[in-house]
Amino acid sequence: MTRWTPTAEGRRDWLRLARTENVGAVTFEQLIRRFGDATAALSALPELAARGGRTAPLKTPTVAEAEREIAKGEALGAKLLVNREAAFPRLLAHVDAPPPLIWVRGDERLLARRTVAIVGARVASAAGQRFARTLAGQLGQAGYVVVSGLARGIDAAAHEGSLPTGTAAVLGGGIDDVYPPENEGLYARIAADGCVVSESPVGHKAQARDFPRRNRLISGLSLGVVVVEAEMRSGSLITARLAGEQGREVFAVPGSPLDPRAAGANDLIRQGATLCAEADDVLRVLDSLRGLEEPEREFKGKATEPSARMVENVAALLTEAPVSRDELARAAGISTAELSAALVELSLAGRAEFLPGGMISRG
């Protein structure tokens, strides 16, 4: 994978493009592949959005607004890491459509080590919290950095157990948004001795829609995810599903069928997740992995300019029902490269939406 040492202006424009309206991870990746850098992509945005059918200007942060966010983050002692620079976590760069950037507060070197996530119920049992704390400590002693989401319950216990050996907390809000408030002390200890990670703008207060993206970061940063106590409608199961989609290992701690908090983990085991009764169950699997290869992504590929007719043909094929890229390309009778170029223009116009698992629907 091509590595890049960004200039101050390049980092600022990378942030501006990432924060632009209708530019998600997939659209951002396609724009960088097409134009080579964020500065060139920003210049092309108005024309691309208009070609996709948008009439109002896209909301893009000004230079001053981007510089203010960078200054606020740096004032907290945080660093802005952009995808494709050497310090960006290798595992996270490997996921399909990786996040364009992350804020990191603390020891960023922890993200370059072997990592494993431990997640679970917020309203966790005392036994579940004890298991998570012990498991995290044992995995840490074995050389792994433990990643979790700073939530109450299992997440907090996992961080507590791994603080002495290395832990990373992934936030839904900005790098300065401590949630829940009772974990403020834990946050401070992790920022001092571990690592805090966020994809959101500095100062952003976490909302419900931010947590699925947070969960994608947790799994993306990790070789595997261990679920300790999770009800059937749990965010931890979303993290496990995302881990599977990203090609990561999934582990689940079994529990009593009489406890609703065990239902999600037990169901994961039924679906093929590795049963975790002790740290060795995780270590046997993760220690056997050779590591993920660097993604083969070049900065700039061959530019594809879809015709206006092609863009409208693709738009006409979209509905609220998600469809795969391959199926959409076949229906449109065009190559995947042409489809990607057309979808970028439609997504910028708000007429197409990229969904998890490579699916697309009408925007």
| Average predicted confidence (pLDDT) for the chain | 93
Helix (H, G, I), strand (E, B) or coil at 89: coil
Residues of the chain with CATH 3.40.50.450: 106-286
Q: What is the CATH number of domain 308-362?
A: 1.10.10.10
Beta carbons of 153 and 165 less than 8 angstroms apart: no
Residue 68 binned pLDDT confidence (cut-offs 50, 70, 90): very high
pLDDT tens per residue, range 167-220: 999 999 999 999 999 999 999 999 999 999 999 999 999 999 999 999 999 999
Which pLDDT tens digit goes with each residue over 85-142? 999 999 999 898 899 999 999 999 999 999 999 999 999 999 999 999 999 999 999 9
Round to whole Å and give the CA distance between 197 and 193. 13
d(CA 185, CA 235): 24
Dump pLDDT digits (tens) for 4-33. 788 999 999 999 999 999 999 999 999 998
Q: Convert the pLDDT of each residue in 230-242 to its tens digit.
A: 999 899 999 999 9
Question: Can you list the alpha helix ranges (DSSP code H) found in the chain?
Answer: 8-18, 25-35, 38-51, 63-75, 90-93, 126-141, 154-162, 184-193, 210-220, 235-245, 260-270, 279-286, 308-317, 325-332, 336-348
The whole-angstrom separation of Cα 99 and Cα 103 is 11
Question: pLDDT-derived band of residue 305, with 50, 70 and 90 as boundaries?
Answer: confident
Query: In this predicted structure, what is the pLDDT of residue 363?
Result: 87
pLDDT at residue 313 in the model: 94
Q: How confident is the model at residue 306 (pLDDT cuts 50, 70, 90)?
A: confident
**What are the residues whose beta carbons fall under 8 Å from the beta carbon of 144, sequence distance 6 or more?**
113, 114, 115, 116, 165, 166, 286
| Residues in the chain, overall count | 363
| Residue 107 CB coordination number (10 Å) | 17
Instruction: For the chain, give every residue range classified as CATH 1.10.10.10.
Output: 308-362
In this structure, the dihedral spanned by the alpha carbons of residues 186, 188, 192 and 196, taken in order and rounded to 10 degrees, is 80
Residue pointed to by tokens 């510089």: 67
Q: Does the domain at residues 106-286 carry the CATH identifier 3.40.50.450?
A: yes
